[in-house]
Structure 1
Amino acid sequence: MKEIIARFIAIMLLVIPGLGATYGFLLMKDAVFQYFSSLGENASGEPFGWGKMLLGFVLFAFGIGFIGGWTFFRDRKRNYVAPRFKQKRPRPPRQNV
């Protein structure tokens, strides 16, 4: 039973940032579309929703960054990454002969 709960928690740790990133993308999209749709209705238009856009960007960047970082470190642990992304091993000390 503990394994099932641990897997559920692990899945939720990925689903919650994914939902946040999705909501952030929708906020950014809505801010842009609302601005352009108000330009078509009247000549003055509404001011651009910078608060909505900034909140959407923060949520989107956090969600994508979390999922990307989790995937990167998991792949690094399993040795699936390119050589330039592998962890650097310290060189053994040189012995003076």
Structure 2
Amino acid sequence: MIRIIAVLMLLIPGLISAYGIKLMRDTLFNDFHPIFFHIGIQFFAGFLFFLGGVAFIGGFIVYRDKKKKKQREDN
């Protein structure tokens, strides 16, 4: 059960970052979504979604490795 929760915790930010990549790609190919006021805002929102998803997944992996003592701690 805990592994399923862990997979879901990684799946949701992964989908958010994939949507961010899609927004940035759509900006480059001039596919404008009407929810955004300007095409630059669409790219910036996609970039934030991408960075947020990748940062969450990276933080999750670092936390797990520190918890299992697989990573050396620098003091």
Question: Structure 2 counterpart of 1:80, which letter?
Answer: K
TM-score by length of 1: 0.62
- Partners of 1:80 and 1:67 lie apart in 2 by 17
Secondary structure at the aligned position of 2:30 is classed as helix
Task: Specify every segment of 5 or more residues in structure 1 that has no aligned partner in the other structure, as ranges.
Answer: 36-47, 89-97
Superposed structure 1 runs of 4+ greater than 4 Å apart: none
- Partners of 2:28 and 2:52 lie apart in 1 by 20
Report what 1:52 is aligned to. 42
Task: Specify every segment of 5 or more residues in structure 2 that has no aligned partner in the other structure, as ranges.
Answer: 32-37
Deviations, residues 9-66 of structure 1 (Å, cap 9, x unaligned):
221111000000011011111101228xxxxxxxxxxxx7111101101110110000
TM-score by length of 2: 0.78
- Partners of 1:7 and 1:75 lie apart in 2 by 15
Q: How many residue pairs get matched?
A: 69
Report what 1:72 is aligned to. 62
Q: Which of 24, 31, 37 is 2:27 aligned to?
A: 31
Q: Which of 6, 9, 15 is 2:5 aligned to?
A: 9
Structure showing greater relative contact order (alpha-carbon pairs closer than 8 Å, 6 or more residues apart): 2
